[in-house]
Amino acid sequence: MTAWSKLLVATSRLLDLHDSAHEPGSPFVQVSQEQRRGWRDGYWLDLGCLLLEYLLDVDFATNSAFVSQGRCLSWLRHTYPDLPHDDLAFVINLLATPTELHFRQSSPRADAGEAALNAGPCRTGRSTKRTALIEKQGQTGQVRLTPSGRQAVTLAGQVEDLLYSEYDAAKVLAALARGDFARIPDITNQILLAIRALTQELRRVRENPTREGKLTALQDNERHYHNALSSIQRTLLDARAQLGTPGLVARFEAWREAQADDWDLRMLSGAIGRVLTAIENLSRRLSELLADIAEGRIQSMGVVDFADLARCLLTTPPAPGLQAALVERLMPFHQAVAVPRLAPLLPLLETRRAETSHAALVFDEASDARPEDPLLARFLEARGPALRRRVATSPMSLPEALAEGWHRFEDTDCLPQLLNVFVDTQQLDETLAVGVEYRAFRLDLPDGRRIEGAVTPSLRLAAPAASSLATEQDPVR
């Protein structure tokens, strides 16, 4: 049975009740078999269902645009190659012609005295002619789905409700037990359809909060939905765990060798994994929606270009009522406030990149901040004069400085700060320079550290005589 057959099975007896000519209050309560007219081969029904499904696909692709009957005929001829245009025209005319549907709807009683005697609302007769499934243009003959037709096709595809999909999940275990592995993707797709249908319904409820009946139904069935999702999840997790057992892998390999198509065990695992991911997303969406309902955060949503809205408010004054509401909510309480004119604000709303600036940035080193290392600053302030006097007497190499204990200060090891002086002599004195002697050195400190170097740096005065002498003997840089 197709989805359309299931939909007709669920509604056919209701149509018999609607069309029944049985007199109310009649004692003849026996029901005989209804004699239906027609060819009794399902031809017209199948043709109409195929046309409705094609129009739904085109409706999504073209955003509810009209379609020519020629396109419909070309598509239907894939199923019925010799389909004449007259048959299609008959189906279109029948589905585009509305029929009156009578029903009763509860309404409050107008007579207060009668309401006091008979408590509860009365049920009044109503009717509707919005039963046409196809809308047809009178001049061109082009067709498209009506809202009723779109709802009918959607209902036909969603006959399987999520609350009963847990039994479909059990079919996966049955297929694994019987070795019918080819059925598993179809079963998981049916579950995915039910999950996606409810997910789309949740999205529509969030975007259209006026659907109070659906909100109430979701709140009432919250526990049932969560129980169904938990049951489906447990069943599919059990099925995915069975895919890794040696016995099932061996049976799958034997089954795969007998198949014409190329199957892989990861295809089954992927199909189950997609359903598990959809369950997690649906559970999160359902929890968020119910939390929003409880806290009253449901509101209409839409795409709003706030930049364009701001431009319109600046260029065109809003309506007096809206202007009063904006002033009441956005403006300060006291009016004695300097408010800028609107014209200078227009350039601020332009979303353009700034032009390239050719201005040069100049940094003044004279106004640089003090060294970020406070220990280095204290070391230079306290030991700096003594170091300058020591270097003024004779050049001092790094091994000599370490041997004389210049790296000890305030009972702290200041070896990094001493090395900084050898790297940047300007911190100690502008007249100092670093000389490099091409001899290796190796020094063992009392704390066990070992310092080695391929050359030996030394601090010395950068006098002209000293510089020329250093150039001949020990190059200075």
For range 431-445, the mean pLDDT: 79
pLDDT level of residue 125 (50, 70, 90 thresholds): confident
The least confident of 15-24, 58-67, 256-265, 354-363 is 354-363
For range 373-397, the mean pLDDT: 79
Does pLDDT of 368 surpass 60?
Answer: no
pLDDT digits (tens, 9 = 90+) for 447-473: 777 788 788 888 777 755 444 444 444
> Bigger pLDDT: 275 or 219?
275
Does pLDDT of 330 surpass 90?
Answer: no
pLDDT of residue 93: 92
For range 111-118, the mean pLDDT: 48
pLDDT digits (tens, 9 = 90+) for 13-38: 888 888 888 888 888 888 877 777 77
Task: Retrieve residue 456's tokens.
Answer: 């030996």
How many of the other CB atoms lie within 10 Å of CB of 390?
A: 17
Does pLDDT of 39 surpass 50?
Answer: yes
Task: Among 2.40.128, 1.10.10, 1.10.260, 1.25.40, name the CATH number for the domain at 39-104+124-157.
Answer: 1.10.10
Does pLDDT of 338 surpass 70?
Answer: no
> Bigger pLDDT: 301 or 329?
329
pLDDT of residue 14: 82
For range 101-110, the mean pLDDT: 71
